[in-house]
Structure 1
Amino acid sequence: MTKIQRVRSPTGAVFAEVAVSDRPQPLGDLRAVLAIRRLTRDADVVHPHGLRAGALTALGRRGPVVTLHNALTAGGFVGFVYGVLERIVARRAGRVLVVSPDLGERMTRLGARDVRAALVAAPAPQPAKRTPQEVKDELGAGERPLLLTVARLAQQKGLETLLDVAAGPWPGGSAGAPGQGSGGSGGVPLFVVAGEGPLREELQRRIDAERLPVRLLGNRDDVPDLLGAAVALVMPSRWEGQPLTLREALMTGTPAIASDVGGIPEILADAGILVPYGDVEGFRTAVRALLADVATAERLAAAAVRRGREMPGGDDVVESVLAVYRS
Structure 2
Amino acid sequence: MSDVTRTDWAGTVLLLLGSSTGGVGQHLTSLSAGLVGGGARVVVCGPHATEEQFGFTATGATFVPVEIPASPTLADAAAVRTLRRVLAANPVDVVHAHGLRAGLVAVLARPSAPVVVTWHNTVMAGGLRGRLSRWAQRRVARSARITLGASPDLVAQATRLGAPDARLAPVAAPELPPPTRSRAAVRAEFGVGPRQPLVLSVGRLHPQKRYDLLVDAAARWRELDPPAQVAIAGSGPSYLALAAQISAVRAPVTLLGHRTDVADLLLGADLAVVCSDWEARQLFAQEALRAGVPLVATGVGGVPELVGDAAVLIAPDDVDALDTAVRDLLRDHQRRADLAGRGPLRARSWPTEADTVDGVRAVYRDLTGERGPAGGRTTSSSRTDRGARGEQMGEGSG
TM-score by length of 1: 0.83
Q: Which residue of 1 aligns with 2:212?
A: 160
Q: Which residue of 1 aligns with 2:13?
A: none
Superimposed CA distance per residue, residues 246-282 of structure 1 (whole angstroms, 9 cap, x where no aligned partner)? 2221211112111112222222222211111111111
Shift of 1:135: 2.0
Q: Structure 1 residues 136 and 122 mapped into 2: Cα distance closer, same or farther (>3 Å)? A: same
CA RMSD of aligned residues (A): 2.8
Q: Which residue of 1 aligns with 2:142?
A: 91
Superimposed CA distance per residue, residues 21-60 of structure 1 (whole angstroms, 9 cap, x where no aligned partner)? 44332641552464476468x6543322222322232230
Q: 1:132 aligns with which of 177, 183, 200?
A: 183
Q: 1:52 aligns with which of 101, 107, 122?
A: 101
Q: Structure 1 residues 218 and 36 mapped into 2: Cα distance closer, same or farther (>3 Å)? A: closer
Where 1:167 maps in the other structure, the secondary structure is helix
Paired with 2:297 and 2:271, the residues of 1 have a C-alpha distance of 10
Q: Which residue of 2 aligns with 1:183?
A: none
* Counterpart residue identity of residue 155, structure 1: P
Q: Does 1:260 align with 2:309?
A: no
Shift of 1:7: 8.3
Paired with 1:300 and 1:293, the residues of 2 have a C-alpha distance of 11
Q: Which residue of 2 aligns with 1:248?
A: 287
Q: Structure 1 residues 281 and 108 mapped into 2: Cα distance closer, same or farther (>3 Å)? A: same
Superimposed CA distance per residue, residues 59-101 of structure 1 (whole angstroms, 9 cap, x where no aligned partner)? 3048522111222222222212211211111212121001122
Q: Structure 1 residues 7 and 274 mapped into 2: Cα distance closer, same or farther (>3 Å)? A: closer
Q: 2:324 aligns with which of 285, 292, 304?
A: 285
User: Superposition pairs for residues 68-83 of structure 1, below 5 Å?
Assistant: 68-83=119-134
User: Superposition pairs for residues 179-258 of structure 1, below 5 Å?
Assistant: 186-258=225-297
Aligned length: 308
Paired with 1:246 and 1:285, the residues of 2 have a C-alpha distance of 19
Q: Which residue of 2 aligns with 1:180?
A: none
Unaligned runs of 5+ in 1: 1-5, 176-185
Paired with 1:122 and 1:7, the residues of 2 have a C-alpha distance of 22
Q: Does 1:118 align with 2:178?
A: no
Q: Which residue of 2 aligns with 1:31?
A: 81
TM-score by length of 2: 0.70
Paired with 2:89 and 2:152, the residues of 1 have a C-alpha distance of 32
Contact 2:234–2:258 (CA<8 Å) still a contact in 1? Answer: yes
Unaligned runs of 5+ in 2: 1-41, 45-56, 367-381, 383-398
User: Superposition pairs for residues 288-299 of structure 1, below 5 Å?
Assistant: 288-299=327-338
Contact 2:119–2:149 (CA<8 Å) still a contact in 1? Answer: yes
Contact 1:125–1:252 (CA<8 Å) still a contact in 2? Answer: no
Contact 1:132–1:229 (CA<8 Å) still a contact in 2? Answer: yes
Superimposed CA distance per residue, residues 6-26 of structure 1 (whole angstroms, 9 cap, x where no aligned partner)? 989899866655444443326
Structure with larger RCO (C-alpha < 8 A, sep 6+): 2
